[in-house]
Chain A
């Protein structure tokens, strides 16, 4: 596949990509494939839904999201504890956080779930391809797109 990265249109480097993915292999694949398309942004991984919520809503002593920062979220639906749909609901109810572009990347290919996620404001819903090669290829295409996308600033009202 042809890689086309116009220098000036690369996703702003200070934007942070949040990846909620409980499967180690999948996480590594996503991270590496994005990096190979030239996505050099910081990436933060969350192994379960609660970790991600704690980060976004600053509800624990762990790492927290920062004001005036740009985020983009890649969200798996089947996460231990709090699942992806519940996370999407919570994000969608928050005036600031709802601006964050959310890419659902999941094995779930079910019309009702797809509809629900869009109602809850996901940016795009992508079904994980079966097989290593096609998964890598799909994430590279996501990376190419992210390189030309602008992300919103999350201001956070106190």
Chain B
């Protein structure tokens, strides 16, 4: 139980840090920020890699989780990069 308290603490601190870091974003960057954050949520890939495979169902679930998280990661970063490259100053 103790480790949950500790990790819960990490969770709260990270959310607070996120709110502080991103609170003032120019509207030009709203879409790239959303899409870049979306790519980061592909971190679920790391979780998918840690899944057990005791049964066939679990193997399938792990495979599906890895595949979908990878689409999220690769697609998310590439589309964000493509978008950001378009923004130019005068």
Q: Are A and B co-members of a single complex?
A: no
Interface residues of chain B, those whose CB is within 8 Å of chain A, are none
Interface residues of chain A, those whose CB is within 8 Å of chain B, are none
